[in-house]
């Protein structure tokens, strides 16, 4: 093969993985910088003709919500991958197929879950603090706070009712919300009553999408700790309940990413550029029929691409790794935990 793939295998694998990682981080950076600016705009002014112009590109790029959002998103991508790898390798172990490869993959995924999920929770917390400083209505909506007060609660579950301006069936821990948001016991934190109805995001969607994302994060944390404990007790390969739980949790990263974005973007409403440009004012003068047609086109194309991709991945998972592919032992010295997984394999 080109470059002598077999001999240069691990090196080439490493090089191409690094290139893909750098490319992905670079692309993620610019996308998130643009999105973060729409959430926390700075470094701009109005021109005489009413358009927005940048006055300081560094301020535009490195706007206040970029660092926490970038960290949170990149870690989300790592975790999403880890959950799929964990689910696929657990599935193979349950089916007693490709055992050596699946053991290695399972250990890599457990390592990622156990180490990265706590960091992700800290990054998510930091995102919430930054949102609290710049987008208080978003935080009031995702927390389910209707009243401005000190000692805000953490609402665990509830049914936000926007017309009655309350949560039905609320289960809450008094005071914990303020503590989680780094506020002292006397500090008053804004509730939705601080904002005109026209300036509030759709509360129900933001409230629930936030809880689903956090729920997925806590599930990942539990699975990471469970996996690390099972590994330490040398029960990782034998624990069928753990493997079943991992198969069930395989899509959890996708669910967390989607609900995370819903929290961020619906939480930004009614603004396109927070506090500056309303979504209603940003509508282009395009007939509704044209918008509906292009939306339908996108739904159909994405539906086809997504289903084909999902089907292909599921087929690959069902088939398992090619038996003629070498077991990746060349870059795992014996005696390391991952190498040990191969040595132990029957
Ligand atoms: C468990 C604790 C978590 C907390 C406290 C948390 C917190 C947050 C907050 C406050 C936001 C909104 C940020 C904003 O609008 O500016 C957000 C967005 C987001 N979250 Fe989480 N999150 C958690 C877990 C996760 C997990 C496990 C994932 C994925 C694996 C995830 C993925 C995302 C994504 C993709 C966004 C949208 C991007 C962004 O605005 O940062 N989150 N998260």
Q: Within 10 Å of residue 235's Cβ, how many Cβ atoms?
A: 11
* pLDDT the model gives residue 23: 85
Percent of the chain with pLDDT over 70: 90
Q: Is 260 in the pocket of ligand 1 (CB under 6 A)?
A: yes
Residue among 127, 179, 216, 250 to mutate when testing ligand 1 (max atoms within 8 A of CB): 127
How many angstroms separate the CA atoms of 287 and 59, rounded? 36
Is any atom of ligand 1 closer than 6 Å to the C-beta of 63?
no
Burial class, 295, CB count within 10 angstroms (exposed 0-12 / middle 13-18 / buried 19+):
exposed
Q: What was the pLDDT predicted at 328? A: 54
Q: Which of 6-10, 140-144, 258-262 has the lowest mean pLDDT?
A: 6-10
Question: Which candidate, 77, 82, 81, 83, places its Cα nearest to that of 29?
Answer: 77
Residue 327 pLDDT > 60: no
Q: Check pocket membership of 267 for ligand 1, CB cut-off 6 A.
A: yes
Domain ranges of the chain: 68-282, 289-319
Q: Does the structure show a pLDDT above 70 at 331? A: no
What is the average pLDDT across 182-211?
96
294 is written with which tokens?
Answer: 């292009």
The top-scoring range by mean pLDDT among 97-101, 268-272, 342-346 is 268-272
Of 326, 276, 247, 340, which is closest to residue 135 (Cα–Cα)? 276
**329 confidence band (pLDDT: 50, 70, 90):** low
**Residue 257 in contact with ligand 1 by CB distance below 6 A:** yes
What does the pLDDT read at residue 98? Answer: 84
Give the pLDDT score at 21: 81
Helices (H), the chain: 5-39, 57-61, 66-94, 99-134, 136-143, 176-180, 203-232, 240-249, 252-267, 288-319, 337-344
Is residue 342 a contact partner of residue 329, using CB atoms and an 8 Å limit? yes
Q: Tell me the average pLDDT across 234-240.
A: 93
Helix axes 240-249, 66-94, angle to 10 degrees: 130
pLDDT, residue 323, reads 60
Dist. CA 215–CA 219, nearest whole Å: 6
pLDDT reading at 7 higher than 70: no
State the average pLDDT over residues 226-240. 94
Confidence at residue 12, expressed as pLDDT on a 0 to 100 scale: 79
More confident residue, 12 or 100: 100
């Amino acid at each position: 093969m080109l470059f002598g793939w077999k001999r240069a295998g691990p090196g080439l694998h490493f090089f191409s993985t690094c290139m893909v990682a750098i490319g992905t981080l670079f692309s993620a950076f610019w996308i998130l910088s643009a999105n973060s600016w729409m959430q926390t705009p700075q470094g701009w002014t109005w021109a005489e003709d009413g358009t927005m112009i940048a006055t300081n590109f560094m301020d535009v790029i490195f706007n206040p919500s970029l660092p926490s959002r970038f960290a949170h998103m990149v870690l989300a991508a790592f975790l999403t991958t880890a959950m799929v790898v964990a689910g696929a390798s657990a599935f193979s172990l349950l089916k007693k197929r490709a055992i050596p490869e699946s053991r290695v993959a399972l250990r890599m995924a457990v390592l990622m879950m156990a180490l990265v999920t706590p960091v992700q929770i800290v990054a998510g917390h930091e995102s919430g603090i930054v949102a609290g400083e710049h987008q208080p209505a978003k935080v009031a909506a995702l927390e389910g706070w209707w009243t401005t007060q000190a000692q805000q609660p953490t609402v665990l579950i509830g049914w936000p009712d926007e017309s009655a301006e309350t949560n039905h069936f609320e289960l809450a821990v008094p005071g914990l919300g303020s503590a989680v948001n780094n506020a002292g016991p006397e500090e008053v934190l804004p509730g939705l009553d601080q904002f005109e109805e026209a300036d509030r995001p759709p509360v129900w969607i933001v409230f629930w999408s936030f809880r689903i994302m956090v729920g997925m994060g806590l599930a990942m944390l539990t699975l990471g700790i469970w996996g690390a404990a099972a590994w330490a007790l040398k029960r990782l390969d034998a624990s069928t309940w753990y493997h079943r739980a991992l198969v069930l949790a395989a899509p959890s990263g996708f669910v967390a990413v989607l609900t995370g974005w819903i929290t961020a973007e619906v939480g930004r409403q009614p603004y396109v550029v927070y506090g500056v440009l309303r979504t209603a004012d940003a509508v282009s003068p395009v007939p509704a029929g044209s918008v509906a047609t292009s939306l339908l086109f996108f739904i159909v194309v994405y539906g086809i691409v997504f289903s084909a991709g999902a089907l292909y991945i599921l087929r690959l998972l069902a088939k398992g790794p090619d038996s003629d592919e070498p077991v990746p032992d060349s870059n795992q010295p014996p005696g390391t935990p991952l190498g040990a997984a191969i040595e132990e394999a029957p």
